[in-house]
Amino acid sequence: MTQEFYLRQAYGETLVALGRENPDIVVLDADLSRSTRTILFAEKFPERFFNCGIAEQNMVSIAAGLASSGKIPFASTFAVFVPGRCFDQIRMSIAQPRLNVKLVVTHGGISVGEDGTSHQSIEDLALIGALPGFTVIVPADAIETVQAVRAVVAHPGPCYIRLCRPKVELVYDQSYRFKLGKAVTMRRGGDATIIAIGLMVKTALEAAESLKGKGIDCRVLNMSTLKPIDEAAIIQAAADTGAIVTAEEHLEHGGLGSAVARVVATHQPVPMGLVAIKDTYAKSGKAVELLERYGLTAKDIEQAVHAAIKRKRPK
């Protein structure tokens, strides 16, 4: 039986556990604590929770001040409002001085659904990934979320964790151990590699299973740490399999596909395919309908794998 969980619920519960363990953990939100689930922390530790109202720029710079004074602030709202609305604040208050602020955002990507364009964050990874020194993580399920949230506490410096809105099927069990900066091999294979992040990891596994039936063995990597990206795993995958397809709930500009292409083009050129949102904004709809409309299904990944394999150079 498949099990689905909200990543943001896992985040909220982890914050409560961290709050008990570490008095320096503080949490900020911008009037979305019920949705981001930071409300769980607020209920337990009201004196360490700061609801900044609908004022994200202020929230981000307050978090920087707290971090400069030794606190470990987690600041949360929807991905579309951080870093888009607060880019300069994040750049100068957090990234430049490399302060220990943890931005954990929810409702990333188009799977936010019916709220439409204004609430669908499809550029955030490009923006945050452009900032020197930022660690960027996109967990694949609730188990990885718990571990990633814990990992960033143990890793001083600016961190960004992007979670999606809907429930996601587990791709890990409790024995899983997240390692910051390390890609996880979800499936072995030698014909092509699919590299995915977030809820697209599950979709990539479905695509790989289907391709297996057609005689194509795909390696599947979960690149949950988008930055610093695991260059060695990408170079190895390119060398071993000769074709790479990336899958993400983000624009193809500046996201996972771009980051992987930079490594591939620099170190081990092989044909690539990018499964990502093309140069457009999405609209209202159910998450599953949107993922289909904007080309983010297992079928889209399969097609990209076929196309990339076709372009392989003969050995």
Partner 1 sequence: MSLSRKCKPSTSARSVKAEVFSSSTSPAEMEAIARRLRRHIITMTGRAGSGHPGGSLSAVEILLALYFKVMRHKPQDPHWPERDRFILSKGHAAPALYATLAECGYLPLDELATLRQMDSCLQGHTDCTLTPGVEMSAGALGQGLSFAIGVALAGRLNAKDYRVHVLLGDGECDEGQVWEAAMSAAHFKVDNLVAIVDNNGQQIDGWNREVMNLDPFPAKWQAFGWQVIEVEGHSIPQLSQAFDKAKKIKGQPAVIIAHTVKGKGVSFMENNPHFHGTAPTAEEVKLALKELA
By annotation, the residues acting in catalysis are 56
Q: Please, which residue, 75 or 146, has the CB nearer to partner 1?
A: 75
| Per CB under 8 A, 130 contacts partner 1 | no
Q: What angle do CA 247, 111, 306 make, to 5 degrees?
A: 25
**Range in contact with partner 1 (rule: CB under 8 A) among 59-67, 183-191, 211-219, 231-239:** 59-67
71 is an interface residue for partner 1 by CB under 8 A: yes
Residues 242-301 that bind partner 1 (CB under 8 A): none
Alpha-carbon span 188 to 196, nearest angstrom = 14
> Minimal distance in Å, beta carbon 46 to partner 1?
12
Enter the tokens of residue 300. 């889209």
Q: Which is nearer to partner 1, 98 or 150 (CB)?
A: 98
Contact present, 204 and 192 (Cβ < 8 Å): no
Stretch 14-53 residues interacting with partner 1 (CB under 8 A):
26, 47-48, 50, 52-53
Length in residues, the chain: 315
Does residue number 88 form part of the binding site for partner 1 (CB under 8 A)?
yes
**Residue 66 interacts with partner 1 (CB under 8 A): yes or no:** yes
Smallest separation, CB 53 to partner 1 (Å):
7
Rounded-to-integer distance, Cα 65 and Cα 247, Å:
36
Pick from 91, 299, 306, 312: which binds partner 1 (CB under 8 A)? 91
Of the two residues 38 and 61, which places its CB atom closer to partner 1 in the complex?
61
- Is there binding between residue 102 and partner 1 (CB under 8 A)? no
Give the separation between CA 142 and CA 44, rounded to whole angstroms: 21
Helices of type H across the chain: 7-21, 33-36, 39-44, 56-68, 87-89, 124-129, 142-153, 200-213, 231-241, 256-267, 287-293, 298-310
Tokens of 50: 């700061």
The residue (of 62 and 272) whose beta carbon lies closer to partner 1 is 62
- Report the candidate in 188, 220, 237, 180 with the shortest Cα–Cα distance to residue 301: 220
Does residue 128 bind partner 1 (CB under 8 A)?
no
The site for partner 1 (CB under 8 A) is made up of 26, 47-48, 50, 52-53, 55, 57-71, 73, 88-89, 91-93, 96-98
